[in-house]
């Protein structure tokens, strides 16, 4: 259960969708002066070298941030995303690509707090070292993020962004995710929960969006965005794209993604035209 290492997938098309959505959400939270918490249940090591190691071997970033770094003109949100992750110049990629906790660290303010969880021993050590300079602002824990967030909700600030991004290595991850969200909404009905999931042929992946939609009835609103960049392999295996499901999303998020997703589909297809879907509901 601890074999998954996101370093092999850093900066790919799924990271673009996930990190764009996260960035837009945190930017919205920053518009109000009241502090908030950022909670990351599966934080990873914090950042990833693109010029050496696992990411350089797989080069999955060529399917994601590498495809868009040099493309202009861009929507405002895409330009903001590329600035945040460190892309510069005509087609420049950063030697180090930030993971979700590092993106959050770059965006949160001095009164905001980060609570980061990672169970993989190697990635935890890297994450702990990565945030050693953060002092009291960031707490890094080597534990199961699914279970750990129960003690954090609701946070003292009554404002929080919770990113749930499990590896989905085992089938139980899907059921555990739904149970964690059910409990989280009971404890913190106004919390903003961001869920990333892979689009796969396996039944658990196909059923998950319907389960998340049912949970949306317990929230004040929801948003569902998908980005698919490739066709299924002949054997039906592999990830063709990914989705983001947001409970209690910022009210501006749907319009921002409606501008960004068509542009992304123009530039991120892998052998077939990319496609996206965007649905939302608010009370």
Q: Pairing state of beta strands 221-228 and 192-199?
A: unpaired
**Phi, psi for 192 (deg, rounded to 5):** -95, 110
Q: Across the chain, how many H-helices and E-strands are there? A: 10, 10
Residues in the chain: 283
**Dihedral sign (CA 52, 46, 98, 246):** positive
What is the rounded CA–CA span in Å between residue 223 and residue 244? 8
Beta bridge partners of 159: none
For 275, how many CA atoms within 13 A lie in the half-sphere containing its CB?
A: 7
Residue 16, token pair as written in the block: 């673009």
Active site residue 165: yes
Got the DSSP string for 217-282?
A: TTSSEEEEEEEE-SPPPTTS-S--EEEEEEES--TTHHHHHHHHHHHHHHH--SSS--EEEEEEEE
What is the rounded CA–CA span in Å between residue 243 and residue 1? 22
- Cβ burial, residue 44 (10 Å; 0-12/13-18/19+): buried
What is the rounded CA–CA span in Å between residue 58 and residue 78? 24
Q: Given 165, 235, 255, 279, which residue is catalytic? A: 165
Which of these, 12, 17, 33, 27, lies nearest to 80 by C-alpha position?
Answer: 27
Catalytic residues: 165
């Amino acid at each position: 259960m601890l074999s998954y290492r996101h370093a092999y997938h850093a900066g790919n098309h799924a990271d673009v969708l996930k990190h764009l959505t996260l960035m837009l959400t945190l930017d919205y939270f920053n518009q109000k002066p009241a502090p908030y918490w950022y909670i990351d249940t599966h934080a990873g090591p914090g950042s990833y070298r693109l010029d050496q190691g696992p990411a350089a071997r797989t080069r999955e970033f060529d399917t994601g941030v590498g495809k868009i770094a040099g493309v202009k003109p861009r929507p405002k949100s895409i330009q903001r995303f590329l600035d945040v992750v460190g892309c510069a110049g005509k087609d420049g990629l950063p030697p180090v690509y930030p993971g979700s906790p590092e993106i959050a660290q770059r965006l949160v303010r001095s009164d905001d707090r980060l609570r980061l969880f990672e169970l993989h021993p190697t990635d935890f050590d890297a994450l702990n070292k990565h945030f050693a300079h953060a002092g009291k602002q960031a707490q890094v824990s080597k534990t199961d993020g699914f279970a750990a967030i129960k003690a954090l909700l609701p946070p003292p600030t009554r404002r929080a962004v919770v990113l749930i991004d499990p590896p989905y290595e085992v089938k139980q991850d899907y059921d555990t995710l739904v149970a964690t969200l059910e409990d989280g909404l009971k404890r913190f009905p106004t919390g903003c929960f961001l869920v990333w999931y892979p689009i796969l042929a396996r039944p658990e992946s196909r059923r998950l969006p319907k389960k998340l939609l049912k949970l949306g009835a317990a929230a004040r609103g929801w948003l569902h965005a998908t980005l698919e960049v490739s066709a299924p392999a002949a054997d039906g295996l592999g990830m063709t794209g990914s989705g983001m499901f947001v409970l209690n999303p910022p009210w501006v998020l749907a319009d921002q993604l409606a501008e960004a997703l068509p542009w992304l589909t123009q530039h991120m297809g892998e052998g077939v035209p990319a496609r996206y879907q965007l649905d939302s509901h608010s009370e």
